[in-house]
Amino acid sequence: MGEADHHQENGSAAPGENGMDPIAAADAAKMEANAHFKEHQFAEAVEGYTRAIELTPSNAVYYANRAAAHIHLENFGCALSDASRAIELDPKYTKGIYRRADANVGLGRMRKALTDYKRAAQVNPRDPDLRKKLAHCEKEVKRIRFEEAVATPDEKPAAEELELSSMPVEDSYDGPMMEGNEEGGYTLTRDFVVAMIEHFKAQKLIHKRFAFQILTQARDALAKLPTLVDVSIPDDKHITVCGDTHGQFYDLCNLFELNGLPSEDNRYLFNGDFVDRGSFSLEVILTLMAFKVLYPQHMHLARGNHESQSMNKIYGFEGEVKHKYNGMMADIFKETFWWLPLAHVLNRRVLVVHGGLFSQDGVKLDDIRAVNRYREPPEEGLMCELLWSDPQPGSGRAPSKRGVGVAFGADVTQRFLQDNGLELLVRSHEVKDEGYEVEHNGYCVTVFSAPNYCDQMNNKGAWIRFSGKDMTPQFTQFEAVPHPNVRAMAYAGNFYSSMLGM
């Protein structure tokens, strides 16, 4: 974002702190917020801009700056609101206009973004950065319209077009090999997966034949599952619940080194957002899917809001797959993600979902079971809210800070759990400084497993272990580890990276 603009203020100001002139106090708060922003302390930046707004509520700059901080926090709903307020205060303030466009890009609403980029370009036609954003957005909208025009409702799934037998493993291939079987194909083994992880650590890819086999076998395993999966953990066993991993493969490897690889005796549930942002998303998802194939009853994968085509186009996964393999694999990943379950219930006591709860009371587990998940997430309804909602302090419900889903309070959580005979809600979806957070009087837990998220948030990662006997959550934190010098969202393209502050 850089230094905030100096901008003419209008209207009256509230009394300043300690008798300071309110305009001067607001400017001091803005400067403090700018410093936090430069240090990637975006939540603190939001607090500083909020103090400035409270002191001088008619300054468009403060709203636009706060919108920029919200975009980094992925609070796109708040960013849209702030940018719109900046535009109301000064209709010709270019940064207010294109910050609203940037927020719509973050939500995948490219047509709305294009409208604002065009408007901003009319106000400031010589801004080279703005002209570049406009050109890229126009190109993206044209691509979307073309895809909509050629799409057919009875289009054959990409996985049905795949012929593994047409992918011979060349003698020149020097990576890990699956075991041959009597049918002339290959069998996935634990030894292969362990060797594959080491191969990935060395920044090498496995042969496309093996990558496609992992993907299609995982797809078949997921397609057999219901939308809500009931998981039974015996008294003498345990399960580890992990939150977002977001393409941070080397941190995933560290997690496995600390807590053990998945096995029949070491159950895992990864709670969505495996991909995007981090630039080793393919390595993450192939590793997790391989373990799902090996241990279908003991390795559980849930869908997050980033297991969707619109997010994958924006945040890098689609570009990464096409760069490392090809477009067909990207298409099959899209279809495979559609089969990911939306919820898990552990020992009939703990509900695990990626996002959160609902905009209405009375939702039962059977309502979740009845959701048709084999599709792209809609912008409203149960499926959307399971993937996008967040807890809020206090009670009741409020519009989501993200612009999608709903914010739900402690009373909503406790009422839902009581209605469904449950004891705890576990969800992910949000960066937490300590890697986890317990809210809503202990009834709602957030877990996030991508430490130093996007190489800039300085947060810890965490996981939760539940023993089958008492199902009491036990938290373990871990720090980020070094990774090769590949920046986050390296495959998203300059357009999306510049929109989202990477």
Q: Examine the pLDDT at 5 and tell me if it is beyond 90.
A: no
Residue-wise pLDDT tens digits, 245-293: 999 999 999 999 999 999 999 999 999 999 999 999 999 999 999 999 9
Residue-wise pLDDT tens digits, 125-149: 999 989 999 999 999 999 999 988 9
Catalytic residue numbers read: 306
CATH class in words for 164-499: alpha beta
Residue-wise pLDDT tens digits, 323-363: 999 999 999 999 999 999 999 999 999 999 999 999 999 99
Query: In b/e form, how buried is each residue of 275-314, taking b as 16+ CB within 10 angstroms?
Result: bbbbbbbbbbbbbbbbbbbbbbebbbbbbbbbbbbbbbbb
Is 88 within 8 Å of 41 (Cβ atoms)? no
| pLDDT, averaged across the chain | 94
Say if 17-150 and 164-499 have the same CATH topology: no
Instruction: For helices 281-294 and 249-259, give the axis angle rounded to 10 degrees.
Output: 40
The predicted model gives 459-483 an average pLDDT of: 98
Q: Examine the pLDDT at 7 and tell me if it is beyond 50.
A: no
The predicted model gives 358-383 an average pLDDT of: 97
How many helices and strands, by DSSP H and E, does the chain display?
18, 16
Q: Examine the pLDDT at 2 and tell me if it is beyond 50.
A: no
Q: Which residues contact 177 (CB under 8 A, 6 or more apart)?
A: 169, 186, 192, 210
Q: What is the pLDDT of residue 156?
A: 85
Cα(407)–Cα(77) distance, integer angstroms: 11
Q: What is the pLDDT of residue 40?
A: 87
The predicted model gives 102-107 an average pLDDT of: 94
The predicted model gives 411-432 an average pLDDT of: 98
Q: Examine the pLDDT at 199 and tell me if it is beyond 50.
A: yes
Q: Examine the pLDDT at 491 and tell me if it is beyond 90.
A: yes
Cα(224)–Cα(336) distance, integer angstroms: 12
Q: Examine the pLDDT at 1 and tell me if it is beyond 90.
A: no
Cα(241)–Cα(351) distance, integer angstroms: 11
Considering the domain delimited by 17-150, tell me its CATH architecture: Alpha Horseshoe (1.25)
**CA-based angle 5:10:15, to the nearest 5?**
100
Q: What is the pLDDT of residue 12?
A: 47
Q: Which of 32, 3, 39 is nearest to 456 (CA)?
A: 39
Q: What is the pLDDT of residue 16?
A: 60
Q: Which residues contact 306 (CB under 8 A, 6 or more apart)?
A: 246, 272, 273, 274, 275, 276, 277, 312, 315, 317
DSSP state of 340: S
Are β-strands 461-467 and 474-478 bridged in parallel, bridged antiparallel, or unpaired?
antiparallel
Q: Examine the pLDDT at 412 and tell me if it is beyond 70.
A: yes
The predicted model gives 421-430 an average pLDDT of: 98
* Strand arrangement, sheet containing 350-353: 228-231, 343-346, 350-353, 424-427, 444-447, 436-439
Domain boundaries, the chain: 17-150, 164-499
Q: What is the pLDDT of residue 249?
A: 98
Q: And the tokens for 318?
A: 């689609």
Q: Examine the pLDDT at 3 and tell me if it is beyond 60.
A: no
DSSP state of 494: H
Distance (Å) of CA 40 to CA 44, 278, 444, 447: 9, 17, 27, 21
Residue-wise pLDDT tens digits, 147-187: 889 887 777 899 889 999 999 999 999 999 999 998 889 99
Confidence grade of residue 11 (pLDDT, cut at 50, 70, 90): very low
| Percent over 70 (pLDDT), the chain | 95
Q: What is the pLDDT of residue 183?
A: 85
Residue-wise pLDDT tens digits, 54-74: 999 999 999 999 999 999 999
